[in-house]
Each structure stands twice: as structure tokens, then as C-alpha cells.
Structure 1
């Protein structure tokens, strides 16, 4: 008896895997290099990679990321949709169309802390 072909097909799985890899690479570039690199000149209250990751993932999840994403590292455990939303927010912060200070205050409020 022949087994049914697995879904998605191998080629599509490879393409999806490549897309996810690209998304993760952009995430790391944004949060480890690009955003920390401009933090001081923009007067942001954070400059460490894990702070940018917290802020962007919280924004994408609408709550503390660890309430929506099971496991660590969060970017690897996040759904494609969650990570894409976090990357998109990072791109907007980088371009100046989304206010990082506001997102940080929002993130801190999710955690029961006062936003600066």
C-alpha cells in the first residue's frame, strides 16, 4: 500500500523554509545591528538587542511575547505571522514611521512597569 504524499510537497517546504530563514535573518539584522546602531542618535531609551526584540515582539503579539510564544529563543518559536509582524514593526521603526518610544512604553505597561 502506497502512503499518501506528504503536504506540503518537498519543494514547497524548501521554499517556505527559505522564506522563514530570510525572515529570521532580517530580524537578527534589525535587532542586533541596525536599530542598536542608530539608537543614540535618535535618543531612544534602549540600545541593546534584547530590548528591541522585547519591544517589537510585544507589539506584534499585543501582549508580553512570552504569553503568546511558547519557548525560546522567541523569534524561532514565533509563528510566521508573529515574526513577520515584528519585522514589519522593526522596519517601520527604522524608517521613522513608527515611534519606538511609544512602543517601549506600551511594552513596559504589558509587564506592569511604568513606561519612561
Structure 2
């Protein structure tokens, strides 16, 4: 895939922040999700898009340094979670397992 131009990349980043800073945290208030903080949604979606801890694949800040493909995949996962088509708890378990941090409390 050819890299997106700057305008398209800005649109992707705007969508990323709207989804992870507003839409998912707002939805978490009425759903039984294991997390509710923006950075937790970002971790879960990026880890699953990378199939491992995102910091092993992307230099921080991830929104700026992730490939277009990874950012698109993370956004798509977030939209599926928001629409109830993907299980956030399952994605969180995968993320925590990759990080060696499976535990019972919320907002890991």
C-alpha cells in the first residue's frame, strides 16, 4: 500500500483520537467493558493491530509513527468494538497476555 498523503493521514489521526478519546470512553459508561480510559483503548487496539505489544513495533507516539496499515487496522477494530461486532474483553485479554500481565482487575 502506498503511504497516504498528509491530508488523509490527518483525517486518520483525527478519527483515531475521536474514537479512542471520546466515542469508546463514552460508550464504556453504559457497557460492561474491562476498561474505560482512552489510553487503555489505544493500547488494546494497537496491540491487536500489531499482534503484540505495540511498542515492540512502533516508536512513540504511536498515532504519528504507526504505519497507515496499522492505524487503519486499529481504527477498524475500534469501530467493530463500538458496533458490538468485536469483544473488547477478548481483545484486552490478548493484549494483556502479550504483555505478560493477565490479571483480574480493571484498567490494566
Asked whether the two chains share a fold, i.e. TM above 0.5, the reply is: yes
What corresponds to 2:20 in structure 1? 31
Instruction: Measure, in 2, the Cα distance between the counterparts of 1:86 and 1:101.
Output: 15
Larger RCO (CA under 8 A, 6+ residues apart): 2
| SS at 1:42 equivalent | coil
Asked which structure has the greater CA Rg, the reply is 1
How many residue pairs get aligned? The number is 103
Structure 1 portions without partners, runs of 5+: 1-7
Relative to the length of structure 1, the TM-score reads 0.84
Instruction: Measure, in 2, the Cα distance between the counterparts of 1:16 and 1:95.
Output: 28
Structure 2 portions without partners, runs of 5+: none
Poorly superposed stretches of 4+, deviation over 3 Å = none
When the two chains are superposed, the root-mean-square deviation of aligned CA atoms in Å is: 1.6
Deviations 1:23-74 (A, max 9, x none): 000000000000000112111111000000000000000000000102x211
Relative to the length of structure 2, the TM-score reads 0.90
